[in-house]
Structure 1
Amino acid sequence: MILWSKHGIRVRKLEEGDADRLVQWLSDPRVLEYYEGRDRPHDMAMVQEHFYRERQIEACIIQLDDRDIGYIQYYPVDPEEREVYGYGEGDGRIFGMDQFIGEPDCWNRGIGTKLIQGMVSYLTNTLQADTIVMDPQTWNTRALRVYEKCGFRKIRLLEKREWHEGEYRDCWLIEYSPADREEKQMNRYSQTLNHLVGYFESELKALPVEEFRQKPGPAKWSKQEIVGHLCDSAVNNHLRFVKIKLSAHPVSLEGYDQERWVDLHGYQEQYTKPDIIMLWVMLNRQIAHVLDTLTVEDYGKACILPGGGEATLDWLVSDYLEHMRHHFRQILGPEPVERAKAGK
């Protein structure tokens, strides 16, 4: 069954007779370097296990002018993987895809770009995908250039994500969203932040002062000091977000000594409970305003993390929100934070 055909490229569903071709491709070290790893050549048993028994995946063969040249698969991203990637139930229909061109003489001819463009069109127009994701390994810069050319953008770094040739490799989560939906995705961050601030402000105000200020140990932060740390996080990340937006080049981010910042500001002694809550609220309202000004292009801008890794502004904002949730789990417990995520 043919799914789509365009510019001489055709994608059809995998058939039983394709197994020999898969064995041929996946025993070629040149292909394995980019797909399963050169230490995992496939025999017929492995091909049958990996490509014919998984029914949640739509497995397909790529053809060029009626010649079989590679393999592509797509699948709805399951709830567990959605959570790993940072997507919720309200993020719509999300599909993942993976592929390889198994004939090396078809490399570096622009075929990969046409393939990805055609598959994206099929998934978004025919299957009504809201988002398409892939997680290529970070070292595979050639593939990443193709994906970015086709409209994918880096979202976040997935450290030690995939076992490949004897070690766990870092991967990029990359995403494609139709243009009219991307703007809505961008606005979602400011909406989420404003929601969390309003929700957590009410929860903090309901805590007894004694509980809020109690230190669990001499070297442990009180809940009031944790909120102070979140103020420091807001100050540092506000500056990062603004610098990245205003820069035409990747910004190198500086770290900060969170323990010394909390000590220096004297959050336990110098602030009343209402004052520390109000400071945290106002700092985050300011950040939410900045997020409202960011464009799709801004969110795709790169930055250099304090540890030397690379990330996008999109990843940085998402990480800021998750850092906030993490500390509110310490302050309030897990259930209120889950209610906040669900919008209750």
Structure 2
Amino acid sequence: MWIAIGEKTRIRKLFREDVDQMQNWGSHRDPLFFHYNFPYLDTNERDEWYRSKTGKFRKKSFAIENTRGEVIGFLSIRDIQWIKRESELGIVLNPDCMNEGYGTDAIKAFLYYYFQGMKMKTITLRVAHFNERAIRCYCKCGFEVIGEEEMAFEDQRAEIFYNPKYHDLQKLFTRTKQGMATKYMRMALKKENYEHRINSLSTKTVWKCE
């Protein structure tokens, strides 16, 4: 059932019923991360959300469980280049489960499956420059910065852009022809570098091919 097992988390295929559990997740209090709050969806919208995460050749999504079997997050690999054996990672956690080491544990467990089970060669990601917590997590997992660029922010309707009380946060963004933008870091981890680190990782993993 599970493709990878860490000390705090277990990774498996994402199922439609997982989306129902996500409806009960908490909310971020930091306005910079409001767009990561899982939206309320009716049944049809949940069906569509699930299809968008799982029904594409170049995208795969996985559920993250804690040791009690509760779905506390999901991670996806998108823009999969099957010939080059590379893709881009994305991860979302229940805000109520932040700062407990789940993200680092889940990524470390998944990386073993990604490189050994899926036989991939490179994994990349992008993260907003202001998201220091996520950057620390990715560094712990072995990712290295390969570049930096200004890109359109994920939520162009974010409250921080028009609410005066968030004036101090607005300096993190610039207005461009493509909309409101901010600095993103590009990070990557190659299989050969991962294999050099594997013995030092604290997470114990098991894997199987799908």
TM-score using structure 1 length: 0.43
How many pairs does the alignment contain?
A: 169
Work out whether residues 27 and 34 of structure 2, in 8 Å CA contact, stay in contact via their aligned partners in 1.
no
Question: Paired residue for 1:41, among 9, 21, 39?
Answer: 39
Query: Unaligned regions of 5+ residues in structure 2, if any?
Result: 162-179, 196-210
TM-aligned CA deviation for residue 32 of structure 1: 8.2
The code of the aligned residue for 2:48 comes to E
SS in 2 for 1:129: coil
Work out whether residues 18 and 71 of structure 2, in 8 Å CA contact, stay in contact via their aligned partners in 1.
no
C-alpha separation in 1, matches of 2:18 and 2:47: 10
Query: Unaligned regions of 5+ residues in structure 1, if any?
Result: 80-88, 183-344
C-alpha separation in 2, matches of 1:32 and 1:60: 26
TM-aligned CA deviation for residue 61 of structure 1: 1.3
Q: Which residue number in structure 1 is paired with residue 63 of structure 2?
A: 61
SS in 1 for 2:128: coil
Q: Which range moves more in the overlay, 68-77 or 47-56?
A: 47-56
TM-aligned CA deviation for residue 155 of structure 1: 0.9
Q: Which residue number in structure 2 is paired with residue 163 of structure 1?
A: 154
SS in 1 for 2:24: helix
- 1:147 to 1:123, Cα distance in 2 relative to 1, 3 A: same
Work out whether residues 121 and 190 of structure 2, in 8 Å CA contact, stay in contact via their aligned partners in 1.
yes
Structure with a larger share of its residues in helix = 1
Aligned-pair identity (%): 21
Question: Paired residue for 1:99, among 59, 70, 91?
Answer: 91
Q: Which residue number in structure 2 is paired with residue 247 of structure 1?
A: none
Larger C-alpha radius of gyration, 1 or 2? 1
Structure with a larger share of its residues in strand = 2
- How well do the aligned residues superpose, as a CA RMSD in angstroms? 3.0
> Which runs of structure 2 are paired with 1:109-188 in the superposition (5 Å)?
109-164=100-155, 165=158, 167-179=180-192
SS in 1 for 2:127: coil
TM-aligned CA deviation for residue 103 of structure 1: 4.6
C-alpha separation in 2, matches of 1:117 and 1:135: 17
Q: Which residue number in structure 2 is paired with residue 15 of structure 1?
A: 15
Q: Which residue number in structure 1 is paired with residue 167 of structure 2?
A: none
> Which runs of structure 2 are paired with 1:202-281 in the superposition (5 Å)?
none
C-alpha separation in 1, matches of 2:117 and 2:152: 30
Work out whether residues 9 and 106 of structure 2, in 8 Å CA contact, stay in contact via their aligned partners in 1.
yes
TM-aligned CA deviation for residue 153 of structure 1: 0.8
Q: Which residue number in structure 2 is paired with residue 240 of structure 1?
A: none
SS in 2 for 1:158: strand
Q: Larger relative CO (CA 8 A, sep 6+): 1 or 2? A: 2
- 1:50 to 1:171, Cα distance in 2 relative to 1, 3 A: farther
C-alpha separation in 1, matches of 2:89 and 2:186: 12
Q: Which residue number in structure 1 is paired with residue 165 of structure 2?
A: none
TM-aligned CA deviation for residue 49 of structure 1: 2.9
TM-aligned CA deviation for residue 170 of structure 1: 2.5
TM-aligned CA deviation for residue 6 of structure 1: 2.4
C-alpha separation in 2, matches of 1:46 and 1:155: 37
**What whole-Å deviation, never above 9, does each CA across 1:2-34 have from its counterpart, x for those lacking one?**
221121411111112112222333x72449853
**What whole-Å deviation, never above 9, does each CA across 1:80-101 have from its counterpart, x for those lacking one?**
xxxxxxxxx7xx3112211122
C-alpha separation in 1, matches of 2:19 and 2:31: 16
- 1:31 to 1:2, Cα distance in 2 relative to 1, 3 A: farther
- 1:64 to 1:126, Cα distance in 2 relative to 1, 3 A: same
TM-aligned CA deviation for residue 51 of structure 1: 3.1
C-alpha separation in 1, matches of 2:81 and 2:153: 18
Work out whether residues 11 and 61 of structure 1, in 8 Å CA contact, stay in contact via their aligned partners in 2.
yes
C-alpha separation in 2, matches of 1:168 and 1:181: 32
Q: Which residue number in structure 1 is paired with residue 73 of structure 2?
A: 70
C-alpha separation in 2, matches of 1:120 and 1:78: 17
TM-score using structure 2 length: 0.68
Work out whether residues 78 and 89 of structure 2, in 8 Å CA contact, stay in contact via their aligned partners in 1.
yes
